Amino acid sequence: TRTPVNVTVTGAAGQIGYALLFRIASGHLLGADVPVKLRLLEIPQGLKAAEGTAMELDDCAFPLLKGIEITDDPNVGFDGANVALLVGARPRTKGMERGDLLSANGGIFKPQGKAINDNAADDIRVLVVGNPANTNALIAQAAAPDVPAERFTAMTRLDHNRAISQLAAKTGAAVSDIKRLTIWGNHSATQYPDIFHAEIAGKNAAEVVNDQAWLADTFIPTVAKRGAAIIEARGASSAASAANAAIDHVHTWVNGTAEGDWTSMGIPSDGSYGVPEGLISSFPVTCKDGKYEIVQGLDINEFSRTRIDASVQELAEERAAVRDLGLI
């Protein structure tokens, strides 16, 4: 029998956590034959609700679930962790300046990075979901000098999935026919969903769409502002789709991308496509044998260049701000 994989989820008592944990425990994160042990990390106020969720997890009698531990101590939460999903974060509240937001999150992600550094398993893989995800990932990474930098990633898979869905709706294609879509840059309103290299049933997506106005004025803003549209409609922020994307991100990272396709992940830049080294930015990546690689050699047209540069500029500003705050 296989040794269980230790999966740590922070913010486990939140909305996304609630949608995420049952799917991890039922085998969707790593595979239908991979047993898991869950560690739920919460702040003290969240512990009781996390216990309630753990009771429900018990009540599902998931065959793959080999244990649940609940804690508010990051050193315990990340002890032996193979996969860490950092969901809990300090949301931006009304009137909050960017500096306040970044420093509040620094107070969460810096100690978590250190606890990962000191306690996690050698093969630890980290996905940051809590916003501002890219920069929170950078903060955690900087606090974990003994962990290979590439193990810290940020989620842009929900943006990726949203873009596929919008493109399918526009063209009448099946989502499964859409390949090679890319989200570039920051998981924020400046993100750039790129269809110029995407394919719809083997044909170039930009040529199939053939509607530059739709691309600039409908597609890009719809994808970038989808979160706000969901809040408006549901009266609560997206949770199940965010959890689903987190599952997809880790599943693809561990189990690989399909032949001829790629995905989008926020990862430390190696300088590819003019993105300054070290920024955690979204790129087109292929995954194989548990490792990801940036897709190289794509031709970036002027329309794309301007948008990638704007989002990367925002990431550079966030990095400068957390440097000034002494968080990295």
139 contributes a contact to ligand NDP by CB under 6 A: no
By CB under 6 A, tell whether 165 contacts ligand NDP.
no
**Alpha carbon distances (Å) from 277 to 88, 150, 268, 301:** 27, 12, 7, 21
Let me know: does 81 contact 122? Beta carbons within 8 Å. Answer: no
| Residue 268 binding ligand NDP, by CB under 6 A | no
Residue number, 113 or 227, with CB nearest to ligand NDP:
227
Q: What residues contact 328, with CB distance under 8 A and at least 6 apart? A: 138, 139, 142, 319, 322
By CB under 6 A, residue 29 contacts ligand NDP: no
Q: Which of these ranges, 125-133, 253-261, 278-286, 309-317, lies near ligand NDP under the rule CB under 6 A?
A: 125-133
196-208 in b/e burial notation, b at 16+ Cβ within 10 A? Answer: bbbbbeeeebbeb
- Residues numbered 308 to 327 that lie near ligand NDP (CB under 6 A) are none
- Look up residue 257 and give its two tokens: 């991308």
- Residue 215: phi and psi, rounded to 5, are -60, -50
- Cis bond leading into 132, ω under 30°? yes
Spatial separation of the C-alpha atoms in residues 99 and 104, rounded to whole Å: 8
Least Å distance between CB 243 and ligand NDP?
8
46 is in an annotated binding site: no
Nearest residue (CB) to ligand NDP, 109 versus 196: 109
Give the residue, chosen from 121, 149, 239, 310, that forms a contact with ligand NDP under the rule CB under 6 A.
239
Torsion region of 291: left, alpha or beta (phi above 0 gives left; psi -120 to 50 gives alpha): beta
Q: Does the annotation list 11 as a binding residue? A: yes
Region of 26-34, 88-96, 260-268, 306-314 interacting with ligand NDP (CB under 6 A): 88-96
Active site residue 251: no
Chosen residue from 82, 131, 188, 244 binding ligand NDP by CB under 6 A: 131
Q: Indicate whether 238 belongs to the interface with ligand NDP (CB under 6 A).
A: yes
Interface with ligand NDP includes 11 (CB under 6 A)? yes
Question: Which of 160, 187, 197, 249 is labelled catalytic?
Answer: 187
**CA dist 155 → 78, 147, 211 (Å):** 20, 19, 29
Q: Which one among 6, 10, 141, 286 touches ligand NDP, defined by CB under 6 A?
A: 10
Q: Which residues are catalytic?
A: 187
Write out the binding residues. 11-17, 92, 98, 105, 112, 129-131, 162
